[in-house]
Amino acid sequence: MGLTKQGLYDPALEHDSCGVAFVADLSGRASHDIVEQGLTALANLDHRGATGEDAAAGDGAGILTQIPDAFLRGTVPFDLPPQGSYAVGIAYLPVPELERDLATIAIHRIAAEEGLKVIGWRDLPLDTSSLSPVSEAARPYFAQLFVSSHTGDTDIALDRRAYCLRRRVENEVGVYFSSLSARTLVYKGMLTTSQLEQVYPELHDERFASALVLVHSRFSTNTFPSWSLAHPFRMIAHNGEINTIKGNRARMRARESLLATNLIPDSLERIFPICRPGESDSASFDEVLELLHLGGRSLAHAMLMMIP
């Protein structure tokens, strides 16, 4: 029996590509129920993701939430400033301890240069029992970094400083951050949809609350699966494939010398290239959208600029 049109669903619109879902409280009330509904939506997108020969080696799954302030305050062994006055994100650090220590030292140095204070680190508790040996072999060491501004920046102003820190760390140290923000937090990985909540069990903590969640199940098309290329990224989760990506990246590179904003501190040259080599089409889209938004445009304006 074939699929039939029902309500907002039309089988003519079906395509074989990534799955994405969004859950939000229209009144902006944060709750753990929203997070649980997001995880349920993600599980229902299992058919939209892909796996390798080993069915436990997923192309990627992830979730973006607002900062779960009450949860974080109850789990870190240090004092946090008021919500909005600290940025937090998960760093993908090297597994060997010496390399990890050297990377951490470099991150502290760059943070100081960017006018940021490192409040502390939190090792992320994981349950890796469901992981494929393929995923486990590629897994980095996960730790959450907490930073604040020496000048008292909050919310999006703090995000602009954290953005510069994150970009420099990625370029100079080779450490990836799934996010680093005072507003949102991303958990993701080279996972299946069911593995996300298993690998990151704290997503089920009742204190973990958000007024919105964005979830994604990945079917990689133009890049191989990896922990860092899972969605959501910092601003988007993407369903589809951008076939003009080589030209888009070249045009973005050509315009870098013309980029200017008085909202992002100091020269932008230290965060170039905007589109980092080796990323996916979605990652490059996210990198440009993030720059446009943090550079002063509304998110709606920046999104319209991304449409050819």
Exposed / middle / buried, residue 241 (Cβ in 10 Å: 0-12, 13-18, 19+):
middle
Residue 4 and residue 130: Cα distance in Å, rounded? 36
Q: Above pLDDT 90, what percent of the chain?
A: 75
Task: Supply the pLDDT for residue 74.
Answer: 97
Task: Supply the pLDDT for residue 60.
Answer: 87
pLDDT at residue 285 is higher than 60: yes
pLDDT at residue 233 is higher than 60: yes
Average confidence (pLDDT) over 297-303: 95
CB within 8 A of 127, min separation 6: which ones?
A: 198, 199, 201
Task: Supply the pLDDT for residue 16.
Answer: 58
Distances (CA, A) of 52 to 55, 132, 196: 6, 10, 17
Task: Supply the pLDDT for residue 1.
Answer: 39
Task: Supply the pLDDT for residue 261.
Answer: 94
Q: Would you call 275 a catalytic residue per the annotation?
A: no
Sign of CA dihedral 156, 157, 162, 165: positive
Neighbours of 84 (CB within 10 A): 16
- Which is catalytic among the residues 9, 18, 143, 268? 18
Spatial CA neighbour of 20 closest among 172, 239, 280: 239
- What's the mean per-residue pLDDT of the chain? 92
Report strand pairing: 141-149 vs 87-93: antiparallel
- Higher per-residue pLDDT: 182 or 58: 182
Spatial CA neighbour of 167 closest among 300, 294, 302: 294
Average confidence (pLDDT) over 115-129: 97
Please tell me the least confidently modeled range out of 110-124, 196-210, 216-230, 281-295. Answer: 216-230
Q: Residue 44 gets which letter from DSSP?
A: T
**Residue 102 structure tokens:** 């050297």
Give yes or no for a contact between 65 and 211, defined as CB atoms under 8 angstroms apart: no
Task: Supply the pLDDT for residue 214.
Answer: 97
- Higher per-residue pLDDT: 238 or 264: 264
146-180 residue pLDDT tens:
999 999 999 999 999 999 999 999 999 999 999 99
33-50 residue pLDDT tens:
999 999 999 999 887 766
Please tell me the least confidently modeled range out of 19-23, 52-56, 135-139. Answer: 52-56
Task: Supply the pLDDT for residue 15.
Answer: 55
Distances (CA, A) of 138 to 180, 199, 229: 22, 14, 12
pTM for this model (two decimals): 0.91
